[in-house]
């Protein structure tokens, strides 16, 4: 592949979007927290800032309900379910052990109330009722959960229930949990606001959100707690400060206080020592390339999605971007076809690598054009 440097472009972008250059800040090691596994990553770039056992399958407890919520939100978006729909509470849902919304068997409860009961109160009864409404049985709903998990790239997860009650075949990882958290925030901002609500009253019973950071840190606006004896105390948190959003996942701590403290430490570390920049918009022309035997002699190249990068504070000026293009591009070319790579390095360390794609299609040229280009290629 041909390598093309992008230094001048990145420099201009830096001058016009980043303000005065800041001195690099020495980055210490990530905080040591007492968890079986953890991960803190940037929401926009998806880059991990700190991690421990992030790909080790662990019990998620009620963190599972993030996956359940995603499935239900998809059903609402697709028109198969509505917030005002009434759900009959089955005996199975009513009898489900663990945290509860305190719905009563055979009553009719709106999808909106059940979602709040699941998200804010972590109600197992509400979650099972919603699962049965969507898929008929909780087992069938778990199959939907696994389907959507695969679509999201959650390659180390498997769900057998909607609530997170212990089962040896029910597991996920810190990295997979961060992936579903990002999907919820990105795809369903209209429902994400429920994760910041501190209390919910149903049937004259008021219960409080178990995420202590909602009270401690005004930048925190979600997401979910979890606890069983075998999983320990877990917490997925998202916070936004000065336009930068981080997601932290902490699994298997020893207490409510420990999971809150660990999450706060990881968030503070990420915000203090790292920064995120937008480099290139999705669909923006970054370069063009010669196309042989096509109706057009060139094709514009860019990224399918906007590219963000997360780096240590003050290191922006040391980013080294480059592109590698396919040696010979022969028509036909389809829109979105991968024709190279955009590579970002910081002090010779690979930071990010993304596909460089065709921004438009190029059909085959005429018979005469193909013959001419075949001759020219002979001398290339």
Residues known to be catalytic: 62, 65, 122
10 Å CB burial of residue 295 (0-12, 13-18, 19+) is middle
Strand-pairing partners, residue 286, are: none
How far is Cα 200 from Cα 120, in angstroms, rounded to an integer? 7
Token representation of residue 261: 């403290």
How far is Cα 38 from Cα 134, in angstroms, rounded to an integer? 32
Token representation of residue 56: 């080790």
How many Cβ atoms sit within 10 Å of the Cβ of residue 250?
Answer: 32
How far is Cα 338 from Cα 354, in angstroms, rounded to an integer? 10
Q: Could you write out the DSSP letters of every residue in 69-108?
A: HHHHHHHHHTTS--TT-EEEPPHHHHH--SS-----TT-E
How far is Cα 233 from Cα 18, in angstroms, rounded to an integer? 39
Question: In Å, how far are 135, 152, 276, 281 from 179, measured between CA atoms?
Answer: 24, 7, 18, 21
Strand-pairing partners, residue 290, are: 298
Q: Say if residues 199 and 211 touch (Cβ distance below 8 Å).
A: no
Give 66's contacts (C-beta < 8 A, 6+ positions apart).
177, 180, 181, 184, 223, 224, 236
Hey, is 241 helix, strand or coil? strand
Question: In Å, how far are 102, 269, 277, 288, 320 from 27, measured between CA atoms?
Answer: 48, 9, 18, 38, 20
Left, alpha or beta for 6 (phi > 0: left; psi -120 to 50: alpha)? alpha
How far is Cα 205 from Cα 219, in angstroms, rounded to an integer? 28
Token representation of residue 364: 């085959």
């Amino acid at each position: 592949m041909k390598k093309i440097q992008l230094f001048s472009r990145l420099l201009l972008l830096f001058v016009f979007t980043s303000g005065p250059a800041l001195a690099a800040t020495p980055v210490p090691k990530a905080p040591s927290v007492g968890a079986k596994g953890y991960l803190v990553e940037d929401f926009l770039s998806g880059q991990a800032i700190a991690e421990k056992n992030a790909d080790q399958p662990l019990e998620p407890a009620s963190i599972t309900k993030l996956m359940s919520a995603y499935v239900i939100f998809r059903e609402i978006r697709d028109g198969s379910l509505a917030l005002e729909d009434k759900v009959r509470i089955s005996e199975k849902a009513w009898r489900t052990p663990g945290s509860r919304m305190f719905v009563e068997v055979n009553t009719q409860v709106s999808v909106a109330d059940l979602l709040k009961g699941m998200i804010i109160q972590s109600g197992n009864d509400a979650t099972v009722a919603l699962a049965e409404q969507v898929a008929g049985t909780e087992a069938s709903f778990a199959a939907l959960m696994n389907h959507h998990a695969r679509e999201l790239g959650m390659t180390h997860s498997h769900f057998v229930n909607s609530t997170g009650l212990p089962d040896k075949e029910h597991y996920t990882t810190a990295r997979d949990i961060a992936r579903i958290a990002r999907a919820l925030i990105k795809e369903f901002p209209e429902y994400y606001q429920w994760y910041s609500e501190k209390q919910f009253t149903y049937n004259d019973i008021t219960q409080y959100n178990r995420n202590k950071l909602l009270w401690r840190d005004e930048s925190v606006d979600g997401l979910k707690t979890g606890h069983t004896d075998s999983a320990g105390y877990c917490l997925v948190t998202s916070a936004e400060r000065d336009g930068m959003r981080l997601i932290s996942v902490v699994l298997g701590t020893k207490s409510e206080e420990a999971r809150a403290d660990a999450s706060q430490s990881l968030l503070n570390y990420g915000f203090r020592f790292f920064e995120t920049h937008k480099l290139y918009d999705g669909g923006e022309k970054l370069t063009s390339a010669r196309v042989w035997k096509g109706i057009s002699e060139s094709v514009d190249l860019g990224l399918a999605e906007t590219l963000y990068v997360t780096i240590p504070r003050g290191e922006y000026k040391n980013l080294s971007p480059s592109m590698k293009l396919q040696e010979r591009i022969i028509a036909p070319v389809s829109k979105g076809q991968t024709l190279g790579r955009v590579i970002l390095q910081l002090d010779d360390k690979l930071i990010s690598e993304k596909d460089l794609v065709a921004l438009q299609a190029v059909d085959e040229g005429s018979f005469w054009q193909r013959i001419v280009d075949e001759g020219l290629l002979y001398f290339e």
